[in-house]
Amino acid sequence: MHQDLLTIEEVTKQDLYEIIKLAAVYKRSRGTMKEKPLDGKSIGMIFAKSSTRTRVSFEVGIRELGGFSIFLEESKLQVGRGETIPDTARVLSRYLHAVIIRTYKHEEVVEFAKYAHIPVINALTDEYHPCQTLADIFTIYEFSEKLEGIKIAYLGDGQSNMANSLILGAKLAGMELTICAPEEFKPRQDLMGKSLGTGSAVWEIDPKKAVAQADYIYTDVWVSMGFEEEAKKRVKMLTPYQVNMELLSAAGPETRILHCLPAHRGEEITDDVLESKRSIVFDEAENRLHVQKAILALMLGEKN
């Protein structure tokens, strides 16, 4: 794998299938594997945003692989009171074996990686969420036993970090993604125009058209961290894109539901859909652990 994981663009098709294969091994053998590829390695976790799944899955994963995680709240570090990102990156590179960063501006993670000489993993920025997308792809492979030709309909904010990462992930994996969003939230054209593999991404305004042939329907919160001031506007404009039973009736009988969580029940998705037999949301959440273990092992396991 590439030294850093900042977006899906650092992942090759070969990397993707190595992650899937190893994540499946870790999932099957959890608690019984004796190999500790992170033995003796210390991983820093710099978080500026609140977290449940990301923090817990990374901390547990690092421990299960034999490593040691150090949680670093950004506001408590010197970078939070004026130290430059390059200085912080250079210093932490001398203490740690890798750094995982969850923050607001994607440019800050890019700058950190530029000056660090250890692997840097993006655990979420306002623009991208690659670890979640890799877990989503693994989940789809787990349930469909293939990726090529799988159809996904993503409803909601077409400019969110999840939409951006799913566009790249679908193209890499050979899937067919429809981003369903109103004009004001249509997907980024620079990403839609990228060519990473055999997959595709298109934009559709009509939710029922978007889900008609979908194997998977995906949604995410309409108001992500950092966008709270726009909450009322976003909810009003995105309400027609709610994933509910009426919308689900326009999809096929085998269509499954994905959501990266946390869910704002009653906004982007209704309780009855989230709790339905179609929902594989909690399998998807569990897979964050297995996929991130695979990422860490592949990035660090053979390095001294």
Q: Per residue in 19-77, pLDDT tens?
A: 999 999 999 999 898 999 999 999 999 999 999 999 999 999 999 999 999 999 988 88
Q: Spot the catalytic one: 102, 234, 278, 290.
A: 102
Average pLDDT over residues 189-210: 96
Segment 219-240 mean pLDDT: 87
Task: Band the pLDDT of 231: cuts 50, 70, 90.
Answer: confident
Q: Hey, how many other C-beta atoms are within 10 angstroms of the C-beta on 68?
A: 16
- Give the residue among 190, 125, 211 at the shortest CA–CA distance from 160: 125
Residue 84 has pLDDT above 50, yes or no: yes
Catalytic residue (one of 15, 55, 106, 132): 132
φ and ψ of 131, to 5 deg: -65, -40
Domain 132-284 has CATH 3.40.50.1370: yes
Strand ranges across the sheet with 176-180: 200-204, 176-180, 151-155, 216-219, 256-259
201, 170 contact by CB (below 8 A): yes
Alpha-carbon distance of 11 to 13, in angstroms, equals: 7
Measured CA to CA, the distance from residue 137 to residue 146 in angstroms comes to: 10
Q: How far, in Å, CA of 77 to CA of 83, rounded?
A: 9
The edge-to-edge listing of strands for the beta sheet with 68-73 is: 68-73, 42-47, 98-102, 120-122
User: 15, 136, 215, 220: which is the annotated catalytic residue?
Assistant: 220
Beta pairing partners, 98: 43
**CA angle centred on 221, ends 266 and 62, rounded to 5°:** 125
- Helices 53-64 and 281-300 cross at an angle (nearest 10°) of 50
- Whole-prediction pTM value? 0.96
User: Of 53, 259, 288, 290, which is the active-site residue?
Assistant: 288
Element (H, E) at 293: helix 281-300
Catalytic residue among 260, 278, 290, 292: 260
Residue ranges of the chain that CATH labels 3.40.50.1370: 8-128+286-300, 132-284
Residue type for position 266: G
CATH 3.90.1300.10 fits 8-128+286-300, yes or no: no
Residue 132 known to be catalytic = yes
The pLDDT of residue 6 is: 98
Give catalytic status of residue 260 as yes or no.
Answer: yes
**Peptide bond preceding 262 in cis form (omega within 30 of 0):** yes
Catalytic site includes residue 220: yes
DSSP classification of residue 118 = S
Active-site pick, 129, 234, 256, 278: 129
Average pLDDT over residues 245-256: 97
Q: Known catalytic residue: 288? A: yes
Instruction: Report which residue type is found at 128.
Output: Y
129 included as an active-site residue: yes
What residue ranges in 51-209 does DSSP mark as E strands? Answer: 68-73, 98-102, 120-122, 151-155, 176-180, 200-204
- pLDDT value of residue 230: 83
Strands (E), 98-255: 98-102, 120-122, 151-155, 176-180, 200-204, 216-219
**Which two structure tokens, joined as six digits, stand for 101?**
């960063």
Cβ neighbors of 81 (< 8 A, separation 6 or more) are: none
